[in-house]
Amino acid sequence: MPRPRTPLLSRDLIRDTALALIDEHGLAGLSMRRLADALGVQAASLYSHYPTKDDVLDAVANLVIDEVDTSGFAGGDWRRGLRAWAHSYRGVLAAHPNVTPLIASGAGRRERFLAMADAVHGGLVGAGWAPREATTIAGAVKYLVIGAASTPFASGFADDVQVYLDRYPNLTQAHRLRADAARIDLDSFELGLEALIRGLAAAPS
């Protein structure tokens, strides 16, 4: 079936299918052959639309980042804006946990990352922060979001607690809290975020 009059593929379709496969089968579960399979096409066909697999992954990363809401800065309240951005960002990564390593490694030429950074930076500067301070603040919040999304509490512990329960006496309580992992993750994130905002109480000059 070569050269159908209506193309079988498009950049958007490939990118969206890649995200769906990653969400379902993990980052390691995505290969160009599997992706082509899901699209009913040969692997080589993908290279008519993306030069490399990394470019597909960049497109996926940009798609996910575009879900992040930065509109909270609109009112001019930078605290509200920062909280809304951080929660939105964290929520998006929680919705796509398998994509998180892609976001965390975040190298390369990723347009939508810049758009997000620009919106946050603009929101802080618009509220009176100096550019350098805005950069630092946005960085610290980003660290919290990426860290929280990358290493949730639960991931630190094996499934059978009994193995090491007696070896690390200080962790006994922590293990008992394992079922509560989601709450602990949120608490740690909120603690960091609120402490940061509180620590900026001096506000922009």
CA distance 8 to 17: 13
CA distance 19 to 113: 17
The closest alpha carbon to 104, from 156, 57, 54, 149, belongs to 149
When asked if residue 32 is in the footprint of DNA (CB under 7 A), the reply is: yes
Sole residue written with tokens 């993990």: 26
Task: Tell me the per-residue interface mask from 1 to 30 with DNA, x by CB under 7 A, - otherwise.
Answer: xxxx--xxx--------------------x
Task: State the nearest-atom distance from the C-beta of 101 to its own copies, in Å.
Answer: 6
Using only C-alpha atoms, the chain has a radius of gyration, in whole angstroms, of 21
CA distance 79 to 63: 26
Would you call 109 exposed, middle or buried from its count of C-beta atoms within 10 A (0-12, 13-18, 19+)?
exposed
Q: Which does 96 bind (CB under 5 to 8 A by kind): its own copies, DNA, none?
A: none
CA distance 66 to 205: 32
Q: Which of residues 43-102 bind DNA (CB under 7 A)?
A: 43-45, 47-49, 51-54
Q: How many residues in the shown chain lie near DNA by CB under 7 A?
A: 25
Q: Which does 31 bind (CB under 5 to 8 A by kind): DNA, its own copies, none?
A: DNA
CA distance 203 to 77: 11
Choose one: 11-19, 61-69, 80-88, 132-140; the region binding its own copies (CB under 8 A). 132-140
| Residue selected from 38, 104, 112, 204 as contacting its own copies according to rule CB under 8 A | 104
When asked if residue 74 is in the footprint of its own copies (CB under 8 A), the reply is: no
CB hemisphere CA count around 177 (13 angstroms): 13
Which residue ranges make up the site for its own copies (CB under 8 A)? 101, 104-109, 111, 113-115, 117-119, 121-122, 125, 131-132, 135-137, 139-140, 142-148, 150-151, 153, 155-158, 163-164, 167-171, 173-174, 177, 184-185, 187-189, 191-192, 194-196, 198-200
Which residue ranges make up the site for DNA (CB under 7 A)? 1-4, 7-9, 30-34, 36, 41-45, 47-49, 51-54
